[in-house]
Chain A
Amino acid sequence: MSGHEKTLLPSKVIFKLAWRNLWRNHRRTLIMLSAITLGVWAMIFMTSLLRGMVDDLLYNGIRHLPGEVQIHQRNYRDDPSINNSMPPADAKLLTALNMPRVTAWTSRIKVSAVIASERDSRGVILLGVNPQSEVKLGFDLDSISSGRFLQSTNDSGLVIGAKLAERLETRLGKRVVIMSQDPKNNIAERGFRVVGIYRGKLASQEEMNVYAGLQTLQKMLKLGNQISEIAITAEDYRNTHQWFPVIKNATEDPLQALPWYEADSYLSTMMVTMDGFVLVWIVVVFMTLSFGLVNTLIMAVFERTREIGLMQSLGMRPTLILYQILIESFLLLLIGLVAGNVIALLTIIPLQDGIDISGVAQGMEMMGSSSVLYPALKLKDMLLANVIVIVLGLLTSLLPAWHASRLNPVEALSRN
């Protein structure tokens, strides 16, 4: 009798057995594959819709800030008054602002003011802007419903929201008076002609934000070249943390640079919540799948009890039986994943131009979301869905696989 040499893992025969056993009961395998495919599709497709919706909310929110990073005088956030203005960007900051990652930046004045028409008056936020860089930063010229946007920093006109115009009972071409405070706490006022009316995404924005030329306001408020803030934007708000340190390092006291996720905790919470929600969604879909998967494997083991006893009696170690069932499960999951991913891509790609949800999206518009939903397919989400299905799938397969490996060969062989 030779020694009891330890057998190496005979992966080829195990793989062959797993693959052929998978197709022994075509119907059951195909039903399970359909379920996995549908589940994976649902994970990826629904996640891309949710991501698209939240991306839209975040994008609009960041645009409203505006910008992914803002620079203010340190006390400005606590007291956003004209007394907490700041000087324009110095050479060091300009170098940072002109780095390739930054797609646009602008200097602005942002103060509280009162606007009065012939009929009514309202409190507003008065924005002194550079029109060219403001557009690059995100002001949508298509939102101008009548008239025009500002043309230069010296433009003497005023652009107001449609809602505000309605409240003031004024219209394009009419004169209005703006009143605010200068740095010495004296009343500063000036008459403007309404040169443009815009439609905002948010009703509150349309009613509150009033745009004037930057230099026009600096003169009116006797600010010299002082500004309230610098707003900066880049390509993807998710990558702000990568380039923000450059801006931060170029910002010297008393100025303070803040990324959007610190400037608006609601938006950052929304993003984190979304990541958590995606994970919960994927796990919940998987759990419904796992019942089918475990049932399929238990049935497969039950039907092959005698065969498993035979393989044990021929010298197949219990661990190899366990591997075989796990590989069978892995193959089932893999085929389902590939099919699910392909179908998800095939259904998401044609929807890249957006899904019109205006019929059901009035409530969403109030929250700052658009009436067109753009599915956002993220590699990270696809990977997460795939990894969860494979890892949890194999974990849930451990039970039937372990059961198979622990069968008593004599009892298994006597099973009909």
Chain B
Amino acid sequence: MSSIICKDLCKTFQQGEEIITGLDRVSISIEKGDFVCLSGPSGSGKTTLLNAVGGLDKPDSGEILIGGIRIDNLGKGALADMRLHNIGFVFQAYNLIPVLTARENVEFVMQVSGMPALERAEKSLNILKEVGLEGMEERRPAQLSGGQQQRVAVARAIVSQPTLILADEPTANLDSVTASQLMDLFVELNQHHNVTFVIATHDVRVMKYAKRLIRMEDGKIITDVNQRHKNSD
């Protein structure tokens, strides 16, 4: 069963008097456990597709099904619940809540979903250790480097074991070593926990990790390449 199905997605934006096409009849099917990279120049529609799949933005037309449930006609509250329980987001800018510590940021999603305090404390400490932030749990975002902040954001995205992680330029602000560590972490989650990844990126280093590479231009899918065999070679 497909994890994500998009059918004929269209989305336009008004910018002044100009109408910009974000998505132009995009249809795509992503299997559960897949590792997909969306590439393409700025304005090609990668982030728009990611936002639509994550329920952050609604397409003008078309259908989106996640796990067999149509999400493009859900209300704001239902979409928020879907994101809370099923999707992890990693953004280009680290996007941590500045008034919370690293541990509290990681716990945030679990706390909102009503997980008991002891359980979430244990999980958050373990995941921070796993991403190499042991001893920095009580630091606030301003006291962490860019790489450390992104690792907190990743920890937050994966701690509640979502079935799908959507990442928008996750390595854009990271040095090559940190970017490589982050991608290794993504691959491990994908291989050992069967988490589906959809990553929008310009970074060729990230594209190397993808099982499937989709190239977009002007809101359309131009190429859709399965790299499994290439990677295994």
User: Contact at A316–B112, with CB atoms within 8 Å?
Assistant: yes
Please tell me which stretch of B34-42, B76-84, B181-189, B197-205 contacts chain A, meaning at least 4 of its Cβ atoms lie within 8 angstroms of it: B76-84
Which residue of chain A has its CB nearest to the CB of B32?
A1
User: Contact at B76–A315, with CB atoms within 8 Å?
Assistant: no
Give which listed residue, A1, A6, A16, A318, contacts B67 with CB less than 8 A: A1
A263 part of interface (Cβ distance < 8 Å):
no
B28 part of interface (Cβ distance < 8 Å):
no
Known: A4-B78, A7-B114. A314 touches B109 (CB 8 A): yes
User: Contact at B112–A4, with CB atoms within 8 Å?
Assistant: no
User: Contact at B99–A315, with CB atoms within 8 Å?
Assistant: no
CB contacts under 8 Å to A, within B122-174, are 156, 163-164
Residues of B contacting A8 in the complex (Cβ-Cβ under 8 angstroms):
114
Q: How far is the CA of A10 from the CA of B114 in the complex (A)?
A: 6
Q: How far is the CA of A326 from the CA of B35 in the complex (A)?
A: 41
A246 part of interface (Cβ distance < 8 Å):
no
Main secondary structure of the interface of A (DSSP, over half): helix
Which residue of chain B has its CB nearest to the CB of A3?
B85
Residues of A contacting B223 in the complex (Cβ-Cβ under 8 angstroms):
none
Residues of A contacting B99 in the complex (Cβ-Cβ under 8 angstroms):
17, 20-21, 24
Which residue of chain B has its CB nearest to the CB of A409?
B56
Considering residues A16, A20, A307, A409, which has the most beta carbons from chain B within 10 angstroms of its beta carbon? A409
A380 part of interface (Cβ distance < 8 Å):
no
Produce 1/0 per residue, A373-385, CB < 8 A to B.
Answer: 0000000000000
Produce 1/0 per residue, B47-79, CB < 8 A to A.
Answer: 000010010110000000011110000001110
Quote the shortest CB–CB distance from A3 to chain B (angstroms).
8
Residues of B contacting A3 in the complex (Cβ-Cβ under 8 angstroms):
85
CB contacts under 8 Å to B, within A5-32, are 5-8, 10, 12-13, 16-17, 20-21, 24
Q: How far is the CA of A6 from the CA of B67 in the complex (A)?
A: 18
Residues of A contacting B66 in the complex (Cβ-Cβ under 8 angstroms):
1
Quote the shortest CB–CB distance from A383 to chain B (angstroms).
34
B86 part of interface (Cβ distance < 8 Å):
yes
Q: What bracket does the count of chain B residues touching chain A fall in?
A: 35 or more
User: Contact at A13–B80, with CB atoms within 8 Å?
Assistant: no
Residues of A contacting B56 in the complex (Cβ-Cβ under 8 angstroms):
312-313, 409-410, 413
User: Contact at B77–A315, with CB atoms within 8 Å?
Assistant: no
Please tell me which stretch of B90-98, B213-221, B224-232 contacts chain A, meaning at least 4 of its Cβ atoms lie within 8 angstroms of it: B90-98
Which residue of chain B has its CB nearest to the CB of A306?
B95
A310 part of interface (Cβ distance < 8 Å):
yes
User: Contact at A310–B113, with CB atoms within 8 Å?
Assistant: no
Residues of A contacting B209 in the complex (Cβ-Cβ under 8 angstroms):
none
User: Contact at A413–B95, with CB atoms within 8 Å?
Assistant: yes
A188 part of interface (Cβ distance < 8 Å):
no
Known: A1-B163, A5-B85. A319 touches B77 (CB 8 A): yes
User: Contact at A313–B78, with CB atoms within 8 Å?
Assistant: no
Known: A10-B112, A318-B76, A409-B56. A313 touches B89 (CB 8 A): yes
Residues of A contacting B51 in the complex (Cβ-Cβ under 8 angstroms):
410
Give which listed residue, B54, B68, B81, B100, contacts A4 with CB less than 8 A: B81
User: Contact at A315–B98, with CB atoms within 8 Å?
Assistant: no
Q: How far is the CA of A162 from the CA of B154 in the complex (A)?
A: 92
Q: How far is the CA of A2 from the CA of B69 in the complex (A)?
A: 10
Q: How far is the CA of A291 from the CA of B113 in the complex (A)?
A: 35
CB contacts under 8 Å to B, within A275-315, are 306-307, 310-315
User: Contact at B77–A317, with CB atoms within 8 Å?
Assistant: yes
User: Contact at B83–A314, with CB atoms within 8 Å?
Assistant: yes
A320 part of interface (Cβ distance < 8 Å):
yes
Known: A2-B86, A314-B108, A316-B112. A7 touches B81 (CB 8 A): yes
User: Contact at B163–A7, with CB atoms within 8 Å?
Assistant: no
B111 part of interface (Cβ distance < 8 Å):
yes
Quote the shortest CB–CB distance from B36 to chain A (angstroms).
17
Quote the shortest CB–CB distance from A411 to chain B (angstroms).
9
CB contacts under 8 Å to B, within A131-159, are none
User: Contact at B111–A315, with CB atoms within 8 Å?
Assistant: no
Q: How far is the CA of A69 from the CA of B64 in the complex (A)?
A: 80
Which residue of chain A has its CB nearest to the CB of B75?
A318
Q: How far is the CA of A319 from the CA of B80 in the complex (A)?
A: 11
Produce 1/0 per residue, B102-128, CB < 8 A to A.
Answer: 001000110111100000000000000
Quote the shortest CB–CB distance from B43 to chain A (angstroms).
13
Produce 1/0 per residue, A337-372, CB < 8 A to B.
Answer: 000000000000000000000000000000000000
User: Contact at B83–A315, with CB atoms within 8 Å?
Assistant: yes
User: Contact at A1–B109, with CB atoms within 8 Å?
Assistant: no
User: Contact at A7–B112, with CB atoms within 8 Å?
Assistant: yes
Which residue of chain B has its CB nearest to the CB of A310?
B95
Known: A410-B56, A413-B91, A413-B95. A317 touches B114 (CB 8 A): no
Known: A1-B69, A315-B81, A318-B80. A7 touches B113 (CB 8 A): yes
Q: How far is the CA of A20 from the CA of B51 in the complex (A)?
A: 29
Considering residues A1, A2, A4, A320, which has the most beta carbons from chain B within 10 angstroms of its beta carbon? A1
Known: A7-B84, A315-B85, A410-B56. A320 touches B100 (CB 8 A): no
Which 7 pairs, one residue from A and one from B, show the smallest C-beta to C-beta distance?
A: A315-B84, A1-B67, A20-B99, A315-B83, A13-B111, A4-B81, A317-B80
Chain A positions near chain B (C-beta within 8 angstroms): 1-8, 10, 12-13, 16-17, 20-21, 24, 306-307, 310-320, 408-410, 413
Chain B positions near chain A (C-beta within 8 angstroms): 3, 51, 54, 56-57, 66-69, 76-78, 80-87, 89, 91, 95, 97-100, 104, 108-109, 111-114, 156, 163-164
What would be 11 A-B contacts, judged by CB atoms less than 8 Å apart? A3-B85, A7-B113, A13-B111, A16-B104, A24-B99, A307-B97, A313-B54, A315-B84, A315-B112, A408-B57, A413-B56
Other 18 A-B pairs with CB < 8 A, given A1-B86, A13-B111, A316-B80: A4-B85, A10-B111, A10-B114, A16-B104, A20-B100, A21-B99, A24-B99, A313-B56, A315-B82, A315-B84, A315-B113, A316-B84, A317-B80, A317-B81, A318-B80, A409-B56, A409-B57, A410-B51
